[in-house]
């Protein structure tokens, strides 16, 4: 016995079917000829010999069949026959096929789109060799630990204290020098946008600062030139080099090889391009999008200097208080995470003691390690839950499509009872019939899967686009790879099995004797009816769940869009400026802003110009210590409030009312006494039953500043629409000793962004031609961008809800129409004995209402459970919002009654004579 | 076909006979039939209808290999020859059969006084 020959003959039998048939035929013919010759030789006449030979050998058709079967082709032959039969059956009922494939395509398509986004945002790994060996270091410290100042991601721990992935540069250096537990420790820091000038054209691009061993440790080799090396990362200023991304190379240099050695300005510092990253490399921070330039840490004091806490120096490389560097390492083979963490903890303890001033109670952070294969994965934070909720809802939609299809197939199965009876009577096995029915469902689900995949491909960028700012290119794009195909194929097959099994099983339970009778109302009627009705109840329950979900999320979006902001966002145009620290150190940017305010106000069509340190509703706040008059600064911590640096006409431009005192005016100068306007929440909280005007407060950490309150303004939302206004003070930006590193200009104008943008650019570049105008957008767009997740949810769940209603409608109509046609005789008798047609109609509607109510009740239970999961994603209403529940239930019952109206009319119109004759 | 002998084929022995027939030299299907008749001196009747499926089954198992060739009367015919695997199979089957026949023979020929 040899596998090779088995496969070879099987393959021939399957793929060269006709060839093999011909071969058998020829062998048979040869056999008959030879036999006939032998028989004739012994005196039998030719006619008789031929007849005898044929009779003894048996029929050619059966012989062929048996020979091919001996080669193992039977399964394939039957499958092929089943497939052809299934296609013919579908072709004969195109309406059914369209509904089935269409609803499956929607269900599978929706899930594929969500899965595509999910796997991209949550599962993508860094494009480096062996990402699974990477570990990202992080730490936790108890309340009042030694780390007070962080730049980067951090979070408060539930029991007090905090956690972060940032380290100070001196600590990182000590760790790296002494660590033997890991293959190598390297550091990186994603920077926000930096001003880059290529050939005199300024723009802002994202950058990443990396250590000298970054490229070698990650194992990444640039596609052109070289990476950042140890020699670039020596003493401050020693490595004025950058490696650019593949995207930047294409956009700015059209993939020219001459780019190596070219000098560009980064924050007006000349830097030489030494390499181009491979395509797909996204840096170590995130696997979703890549920074455009990579530069060594040694350049920080020159290229991205800044004023940082507790230090007069602009260098962060020697700063011991500011924790800002991310540290990653590769595991040594064979060494456990626990061992590595233990040895690193000892090092961290020593490094902190060596670099930071310590006292008796000082709490040193505890080091931990986490999977670094996805970088810090900022996208996963806050997205994991919404995406799993969406995947869950998408799953329900698919389940609903399955239920609907199972129902349709059950109805068809009953219509095909005769066919099945004939097959059984002719000797088909139940297993054989089951297989044929499953072939039909799998064919349907695979067709649905293909259509769904095409649908998903067509709208693959819908979620990325909805998740990106309207004024910027999409933050990421969906990639279709084998995982997506695998997902769609897997989902299709599972769906096919789910919706196909019950009807297939039902089909094999046909009783041959009764199935062959012309209009058999058999014992299986009740059971079959029960199966169909159970499915309809499930359908209604799922629909209820999805409709309630849609109601909750759509209302959340509406509530957010109509939430009271405390300012007027209409007719406001925004843009950003980021004057590089290299040219505008500290307060040097204030004259620039002053000059720009004047220039911009002079542009016709612009009513007023307001500067803000942070734009409103973009998710960021500034936090400052707030020690009100008469309170003492406490060493263990002080209250904090929000703050913003604003221009003179901020309140009038944003139309935030001044309710007491005054706004800012020309009498507030750089040198006059420092002033602030506080919002009502602050006044209420810190000056209850007092007039805050004229009172002072102290703020600042290392260099305390005393500020006088000159006015109180209305509460306005700051970083998010979802958050109620918090105590906030506004200070004139020109009184900020350190200047404003990044400013947003808000222009009150009726002109649109497109018309005004070139004028704005001209105005800015007449002041400094290296200053790019960034992110021109309206305040309304800014607010819309802050609701991206909510919008995705509202759109998708609304679509799910609508789909659910349609499917429920089809399901209920199908089952009621079937019930009525089955009960024609009974209804005929009822009418014949005098039942009024309204009563018959009511009887049908009652049945539908009864099923729907049961489904709605089950759906309410499910929706309440769902509500607990999604409560944190909602705004302005409770997860058990009674109006939403009542509305959804009413809608479903109306849809159910509407769907059963036609069958009910048909029942009422049954002609008793025809119904009885029919039997 | 000649039917002078009434020996029916035991189930499962057809494969063995075909292998044996083919082991003496390549044969076409009709030739296999003739060869078995000849060796058995016309005492064995074979259902012609089951011959070809058996040939295909043996080829599927890799014990014989089929090839087109010329017959003695100059016609195209498919010739089967024994493969190396087939030879091993035939030997094993022969051995098994002989043991089986011997044991059955001993049992059936046992006389009363031998017990």
What is the per-residue pLDDT across A193-239, written as a single tens digit (0 to 9) for each? 888 999 888 888 999 999 999 999 999 999 999 999 999 999 998 98
Cβ atoms within 10 Å, residue A607: 13
Taking only the tens place, the pLDDT of each residue in A80-138 is 888 888 888 888 888 888 888 888 888 888 888 888 888 887 778 898 999 999 999 99
Residue B11 predicted with pLDDT over 80: no
Residues A817/A654, Cβ–Cβ less than 8 Å: no
Taking only the tens place, the pLDDT of each residue in A627-678 is 988 888 887 678 889 999 999 999 999 999 999 999 999 999 988 999 999 9
Residue A916 predicted with pLDDT over 90: no
**A626: contact with B, CB 8 A cutoff:** no
**A880: contact with B, CB 8 A cutoff:** no
Which member of B28, B48, B61 has the closest CB to residue A1? B61
pTM: 0.74
**B60: contact with A, CB 8 A cutoff:** yes
Banded pLDDT at A172 (limits 50, 70, 90): very high
Place of tokens 């109805």: A411
**B59: contact with A, CB 8 A cutoff:** yes
Mean pLDDT (whole number) for B36-59:
86
**Looking at residue A362, what DSSP letter applies?**
P
**A17: contact with B, CB 8 A cutoff:** no
**Looking at residue A586, what DSSP letter applies?**
G
The alpha-carbon gap from A82 to the nearest alpha carbon of chain B, in Å, equals 24
Banded pLDDT at A525 (limits 50, 70, 90): very low
Nearest CA in chain A to B70: A30
Banded pLDDT at A620 (limits 50, 70, 90): confident
Mean pLDDT (whole number) for A778-801:
88
The alpha-carbon gap from B61 to the nearest alpha carbon of chain A, in Å, equals 5
Residues A302-305: contacts with CB under 8 Å, at least 24 apart = A302/A236, A302/A237, A302/A240, A302/A269, A302/A582, A303/A194, A303/A266, A303/A267, A303/A269, A303/A271, A303/A582, A304/A191, A304/A194, A304/A209, A304/A267, A304/A581, A305/A581, A305/A582, A305/A585
Residues A907/A827, Cβ–Cβ less than 8 Å: yes
Residues A646/A610, Cβ–Cβ less than 8 Å: yes
Which member of B1, B56, B89 has the closest CB to residue A71? B56
Q: Which residues of A touch B48 (CB under 8 A)?
A: 31, 56-58
Residue A308 predicted with pLDDT over 70: no
Q: Work out the angle between the directed axes of helices A94-118 and A74-92 (0-180°, nearest 10).
A: 110
Q: Which residues of B touch A4 (CB under 8 A)?
A: 62
Mean pLDDT (whole number) for B20-43:
88
Mean pLDDT (whole number) for A691-702:
88
d(CA A300, CA A307): 12
Banded pLDDT at A557 (limits 50, 70, 90): very high
Nearest Cα residue to A695 out of A713, A677, A680: A677
Strands in A439-589 per DSSP E: 572-577
d(CA A580, CA A205): 12
Nearest Cα residue to A295 out of A222, A201, A373, A229: A229
d(CA B113, CA B115): 6
Residues A340/A182, Cβ–Cβ less than 8 Å: yes
d(CA A175, CA A165): 14
Contact: B59, A9; criterion CB under 8 Å: yes
Place of tokens 């950490």: A701
**Looking at residue A694, what DSSP letter applies?**
T
Which member of B30, B57, B89 has the closest CB to residue A34? B30
Residue A37 Cα distances to A31, A78, B28, B30, angstroms: 10, 38, 16, 12
**Looking at residue B44, what DSSP letter applies?**
B
Residue A287 predicted with pLDDT over 90: no
* Main-chain dihedrals φ then ψ at residue A325, nearest 5 degrees: -95, 135
* C-alpha B27 chain-centroid distance: 12
The alpha carbons of chain B give a radius of gyration, in whole angstroms, of 17
Contact: B56, A70; criterion CB under 8 Å: yes
Residues A647/A609, Cβ–Cβ less than 8 Å: yes
A455 compared with A637, residue with greater pLDDT: A455
**B112: contact with A, CB 8 A cutoff:** no
Both ends of chain B: CA-CA distance in Å?
A: 45
Residue A169: per-residue pLDDT: 93
d(CA A788, CA A796): 12
Q: Which residues of B touch A57 (CB under 8 A)?
A: 48-49
Residues B19/B90, Cβ–Cβ less than 8 Å: yes
**Looking at residue A120, what DSSP letter applies?**
I
Nearest Cα residue to A301 out of A291, A293, A289, A311: A311
Determine the 3-state secondary structure of A109 from DSSP.
helix
d(CA A136, CA A95): 56
Q: Which residues of B touch A2 (CB under 8 A)?
A: 61-62, 85
Cβ atoms within 10 Å, residue A653: 25
Mean pLDDT (whole number) for A912-917:
78
Residue A310 predicted with pLDDT over 90: no
Contact: B60, A27; criterion CB under 8 Å: no
d(CA A396, CA A403): 10
Residue A608: per-residue pLDDT: 94
Residue A3: per-residue pLDDT: 79
Stretch (H or E) spanning A129: none
Mean pLDDT (whole number) for A599-604:
92
Residue B4: per-residue pLDDT: 44
Residue A131: per-residue pLDDT: 92
Both ends of chain A: CA-CA distance in Å?
A: 61
Residue A307: per-residue pLDDT: 55
Strands in A686-821 per DSSP E: 696-699, 705-713, 728-732, 743-749, 774-778
Contact: A63, B75; criterion CB under 8 Å: no
Mean pLDDT estimate for chain B: 84
Nearest Cα residue to A852 out of A908, A817, A898, A797: A898
CA angle A203, A735, A719 (to 5 degrees): 60
Mean pLDDT (whole number) for A244-266:
93
Residue A175: per-residue pLDDT: 92
d(CA A615, CA B79): 89
Stretch (H or E) spanning A266: strand A263-266
Residues A807/A791, Cβ–Cβ less than 8 Å: no
A586 compared with A860, residue with greater pLDDT: A860
Residue B3 predicted with pLDDT over 60: no
d(CA A4, CA A747): 79
Q: Which residues of B touch A26 (CB under 8 A)?
A: 76, 78
**B53: contact with A, CB 8 A cutoff:** yes
Residue A901 predicted with pLDDT over 60: yes
Residue A73 predicted with pLDDT over 80: no
Banded pLDDT at A825 (limits 50, 70, 90): confident
* Phi-psi sector, A322: left (phi>0), alpha (psi -120 to 50), beta: beta
Contact: A30, B49; criterion CB under 8 Å: no
The alpha-carbon gap from A77 to the nearest alpha carbon of chain B, in Å, equals 17
Banded pLDDT at A528 (limits 50, 70, 90): low
Residue A891 Cα distances to A544, A881, B111, angstroms: 9, 16, 93
Q: Which residues of B touch A72 (CB under 8 A)?
A: 60
> Please, what's the largest Cα pairwise distance for chain A?
137
The alpha-carbon gap from B41 to the nearest alpha carbon of chain A, in Å, equals 17
d(CA A509, CA A437): 13
Q: Which residues of A touch B89 (CB under 8 A)?
A: 1
Q: Which residues of A touch B85 (CB under 8 A)?
A: 1-2
Contact: A30, B28; criterion CB under 8 Å: yes
Stretch (H or E) spanning A611: strand A606-612
Residue A894 Cα distances to A554, A808, A897, angstroms: 21, 11, 5
Q: Please tell me the total number of residues recorded for chain B in this structure.
A: 115
d(CA A740, CA A646): 10
Residue A644: per-residue pLDDT: 94
Residue A379: per-residue pLDDT: 65
Residue A710: per-residue pLDDT: 96
Mean pLDDT estimate for chain A: 87
d(CA A447, CA A144): 61
Contact: A5, B62; criterion CB under 8 Å: yes
B99 exposure class (CB count in 10 Å sphere: 0-12, 13-18, 19+):
exposed
**B84: contact with A, CB 8 A cutoff:** no
Residue B5 predicted with pLDDT over 50: no
Nearest CA in chain B to A7: B60
d(CA A601, CA A762): 14
d(CA A126, CA A218): 10
Question: What percent of chain A has a predicted confidence (pLDDT) above 90?
Answer: 37
Residues A646/A706, Cβ–Cβ less than 8 Å: no
Q: Work out the angle between the directed axes of helices A788-822 and A524-561 (0-180°, nearest 10).
A: 160
Contact: B60, A10; criterion CB under 8 Å: yes
**A58: contact with B, CB 8 A cutoff:** yes
Paired strand residues for A706: A698
């Amino acid at each position: 016995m040899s596998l090779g020959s088995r496969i070879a003959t099987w393959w021939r039998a399957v793929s060269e079917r006709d060839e093999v048939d011909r071969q058998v035929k020829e062998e048979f013919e040869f056999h008959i000829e030879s036999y006939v010759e032998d028989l004739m030789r012994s005196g039998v006449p030719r006619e008789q010999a031929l007849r005898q030979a044929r009779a003894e050998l048996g029929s050619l058709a059966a012989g062929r069949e048996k020979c091919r079967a001996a080669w193992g082709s039977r399964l394939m032959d039957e499958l092929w026959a089943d497939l052809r039969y299934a296609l013919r059956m579908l072709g004969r009922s195109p309406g059914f096929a369209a509904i089935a494939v269409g609803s499956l395509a929607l269900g599978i398509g929706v899930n594929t789109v969500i899965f595509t986004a999910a796997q991209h945002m949550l599962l993508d790994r860094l494009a480096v060799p062996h990402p699974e060996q990477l570990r990202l270091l992080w730490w936790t410290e108890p309340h009042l630990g030694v780390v007070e100042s962080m730049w980067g991601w951090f979070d408060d721990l539930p029991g007090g204290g905090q956690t972060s992935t940032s380290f100070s540069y001196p600590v990182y250096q000590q760790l790296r020098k002494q660590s033997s537990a890991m293959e190598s420790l390297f550091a990186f820091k994603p920077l926000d946008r930096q001003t880059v000038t290529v050939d005199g054209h300024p723009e802002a691009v994202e950058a990443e600062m990396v250590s000298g061993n970054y490229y070698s440790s990650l194992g990444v080799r640039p596609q052109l030139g070289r990476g950042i090396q140890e020699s670039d990362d020596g003493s401050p200023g020693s490595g004025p080099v950058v490696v650019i991304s593949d995207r930047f190379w294409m956009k700015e240099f059209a993939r020219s090889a001459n780019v190596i050695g070219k000098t560009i300005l980064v924050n007006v510092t000349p830097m030489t391009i030494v390499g181009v990253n491979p395509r797909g490399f996204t840096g170590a921070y995130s696997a979703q999008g890549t920074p455009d330039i990579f530069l060594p840490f040694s350049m920080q004091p020159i290229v991205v200097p800044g004023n940082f806490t507790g230090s007069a120096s602009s260098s962060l490389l020697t700063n011991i208080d500011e924790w800002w560097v991310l540290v990653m390492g590769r595991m040594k083979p064979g060494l456990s995470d626990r061992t590595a963490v233990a040895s690193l903890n000892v090092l961290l303890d020593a490094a902190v003691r060596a670099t930071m001033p310590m006292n008796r109670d000082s709490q040193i952070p505890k080091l931990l390690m986490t999977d670094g294969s996805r970088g810090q994965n900022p996208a996963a934070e806050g997205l994991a839950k919404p995406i799993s909720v969406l995947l869950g809802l998408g799953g329900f939609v698919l389940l609903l499509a399955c239920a609907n299809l199972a129902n349709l197939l059950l109805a068809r199965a009953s219509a095909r009872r005769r066919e099945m009876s004939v097959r059984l009577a002719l000797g088909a096995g139940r297993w054989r019939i089951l297989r044929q029915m499953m072939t039909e469902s799998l064919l349907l689900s695979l067709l649905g899967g293909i259509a769904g995949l095409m649908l998903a491909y067509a709208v693959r960028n819908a979620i990325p686009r909805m998740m990106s700012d309207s004024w910027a290119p999409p933050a990421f794009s969906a990639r279709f790879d084998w995982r997506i195909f695998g997902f769609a194929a897997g989902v299709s097959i599972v769906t096919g099995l789910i919706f196909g099994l019950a009807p297939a099983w039902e089909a094999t339970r046909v009783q041959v004797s009764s199935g062959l009778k012309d209009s058999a109302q058999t014992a299986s009627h009740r059971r079959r009816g029960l199966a169909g009705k159970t499915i309809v109840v499930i359908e209604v329950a799922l629909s209820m769940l999805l409709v309630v979900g849609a109601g909750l999320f759509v209302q959340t979006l509406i509530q957010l869009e109509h939430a009271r902001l405390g300012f007027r966002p209409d007719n406001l145009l925004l843009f950003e400026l980021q004057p590089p620290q290299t040219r505008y150190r500290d307060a040097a940017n204030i004259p620039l802003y002053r000059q720009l305010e004047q220039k911009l106000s002079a542009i016709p069509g612009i009513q007023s110009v307001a500067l803000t340190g942070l734009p409103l509703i973009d998710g960021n706040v500034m936090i400052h210590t707030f020690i009100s008059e008469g309170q003492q600064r406490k060493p263990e911590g002080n209250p904090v409030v929000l703050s913003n640096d604003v221009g003179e006409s901020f309140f009038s431009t944003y139309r935030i009312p001044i309710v007491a005192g005054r706004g800012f005016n020309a009498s507030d100068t750089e040198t006059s006494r420092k002033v602030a306007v506080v919002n009502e929440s602050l006044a209420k909280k810190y000056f209850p039953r007092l007039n805050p005007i004229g009172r002072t407060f102290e703020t600042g950490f290392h260099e305390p500043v005393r500020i006088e309150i000159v006015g109180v303004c209305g509460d306005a939302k700051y970083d998010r629409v979802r958050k109620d206004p918090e105590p906030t003070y506004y200070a004139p930006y020109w009184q900020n000793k350190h200047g404003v590193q990044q400013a947003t200009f808000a222009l009150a104008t009726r002109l649109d962004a497109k018309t005004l943008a070139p004028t704005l650019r001209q105005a800015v570049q007449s002041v400094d031609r290296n200053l790019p105008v960034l992110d021109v957008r309206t305040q309304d767009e800014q607010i819309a961008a802050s609701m991206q997740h909510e919008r995705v949810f509202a759109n998708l769940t609304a679509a799910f809800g609508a789909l659910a209603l349609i499917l429920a409608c089809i399901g209920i109509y199908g089952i009621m129409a079937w019930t009525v046609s089955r009960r024609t005789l009974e209804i005929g008798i009822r009418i014949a004995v005098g039942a009024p047609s309204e009563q018959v109609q009511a009887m049908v509607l009652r049945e539908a209402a009864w099923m729907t109510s049961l489904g709605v009740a089950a759906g309410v239970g499910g929706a309440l459970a769902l509500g607990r999961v999604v409560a944190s994603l909602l705004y302005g209403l409770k997860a058990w919002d009674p109006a939403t529940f009542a509305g959804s239930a009413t809608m479903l019952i109306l849809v159910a009654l509407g769907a059963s109206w036609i069958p009910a009319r048909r029942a009422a119109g049954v002609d008793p004579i025809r119904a009885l004759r029919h039997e | 076909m000649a039917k002078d002998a009434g020996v029916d084929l035991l189930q499962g022995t057809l494969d063995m006979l075909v292998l044996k027939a083919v082991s003496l030299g390549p044969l076409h299907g009709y030739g296999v039939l003739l060869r078995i008749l000849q060796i058995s001196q016309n005492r064995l009747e074979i259902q012609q209808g089951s011959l070809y499926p058996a040939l295909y089954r043996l080829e599927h198992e890799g014990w014989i290999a089929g090839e087109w060739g010329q017959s003695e009367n100059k016609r195209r015919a498919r010739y089967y020859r024994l493969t190396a695997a087939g030879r091993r199979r035939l030997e094993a089957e022969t051995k098994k059969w002989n043991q089986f026949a011997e044991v059955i023979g001993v049992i059936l020929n046992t006389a009363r006084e031998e017990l």
